[in-house]
C-alpha cells in the first residue's frame, strides 16, 4: 500500500512470516529497498507495480538493507525486469549480498566451526532454492543521497547491529524512516503476529 505520498510498503509472504519491501517513487525514477526472496518479485512485487501503473524499468536503484537471503534473494529476479537498475549494499555486507556460498557459510553457518552448531540441511537447501543474487554495483556507508525528483531526497543511514553493514533509508519529505530489521523488538513475528523466533543482533 502507499503509506505516504510516493512511499509504498509491499508485503510478500515467506512461509508463515513476511518480508516488507519499500518502494520510493519520484519524477526521476524509483528506489526499491529489499527484494524479498526469489519468488517475491514475480509473486508479489510485479503484480503490485502493475496494479499501481509503475513500470519496473523505472526502478533505478535497488538497496539491500542487509545481506539476509529473505531481503536479497529476489535481486536476480528484479535485475531481469529492471536491467538498468544499480544494485547497492552496505560495505560490510557486500560479499554476503552477492555470493550465496559466502552468505551461507558466514551468516547461517557462523557457529558451525567454533561451536558445532549449524542449520539443518533442509534449511540450507531452502535458502539455496529461494535465493538468486547479483553483484553489488556500489557499496554504501551512510550519508549518501538519492534524488528522486520533485524534492524527494532519500538519505542512507548506517544502522549496524542486525548485520555489520545494515542500512536504513530516511525519506525527509515524508518524515519516514525505513529500517528493515535494524530494530526487532522482543521477537520476529509471524504474519499473524505470533512470535516466530528471538530477535537476532550480531552487535548490539
Q: CA 14, CA 119: separation in Å to the nearest integer? A: 18
Closest CA to 157 of 175, 128, 179, 186: 179
Q: Is residue 80 within 8 Å of residue 62, measured between CB atoms?
A: no
Q: Is the pLDDT score of 128 beyond 90? A: yes
What are the distances in angstroms from CA 142 to CA 28, 135, 171?
A: 22, 20, 14
**Looking at per-residue confidence, does 118 or 88 come out higher?**
88
pLDDT at 89: 98
> 179 — phi, psi (to 5°)?
-115, -10
Task: Please compute the mean of the pLDDT values over residues 139-145 and round it to a whole number.
Answer: 98
3-state secondary structure of 164: coil
Supply the pLDDT for residue 49: 98
Predicted pLDDT of residue 111: 87
pTM of the model: 0.97
Q: How confident is the model at residue 62 (pLDDT cuts 50, 70, 90)?
A: very high
Predicted confidence (pLDDT) at residue 39 exceeds the cutoff of 90: yes
- Residues with Cβ < 8 Å from 194, sequence gap 6 or more? none
| Predicted confidence (pLDDT) at residue 110 exceeds the cutoff of 90 | no
- Domains of the chain are 2-197 (3.60.15.10)
Amino acid at each position: 500500500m502507499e503509506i505516504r505520498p510516493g512511499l509504498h510498503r509491499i508485503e510478500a509472504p515467506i512461509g508463515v512470516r513476511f518480508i516488507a519491501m519499500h518502494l520510493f517513487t519520484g519524477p526521476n525514477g524509483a528506489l526499491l529497498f529489499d527484494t524479498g526472496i526469489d519468488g517475491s518479485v514475480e509473486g508479489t512485487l510485479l503484480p503490485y507495480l502493475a496494479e499501481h501503473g509503475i513500470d519496473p524499468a523505472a526502478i533505478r536503484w535497488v538497496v539491500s538493507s542487509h545481506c539476509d537471503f529473505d531481503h536479497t534473494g529476489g535481486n536476480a529476479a528484479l535485475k531481469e525486469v529492471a536491467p538498468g537498475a544499480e544494485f547497492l549494499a552496505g560495505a560490510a555486507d557486500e560479499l554476503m549480498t552477492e555470493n550465496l556460498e559466502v552468505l551461507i557459510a558466514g551468516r547461517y553457518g557462523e557457529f558451525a566451526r567454533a561451536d558445532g552448531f549449524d542449520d539443518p540441511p533442509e534449511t540450507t537447501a531452502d535458502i539455496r532454492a529461494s535465493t538468486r543474487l547479483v553483484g553489488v554495483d556500489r557499496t554504501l556507508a551512510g550519508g549518501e543521497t538519492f534524488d528522486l525528483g520533485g524534492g524527494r531526497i532519500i538519505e542512507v543511514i548506517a544502522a549496524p547491529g542486525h548485520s555489520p553493514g545494515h542500512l536504513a533509508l530516511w525519506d525527509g519529505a515524508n518524515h519516514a524512516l525505513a529500517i528493515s530489521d535494524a530494530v526487532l523488538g522482543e521477537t520476529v513475528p509471524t504474519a499473524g503476529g505470533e512470535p516466530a523466533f528471538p530477535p537476532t543482533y550480531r552487535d548490539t
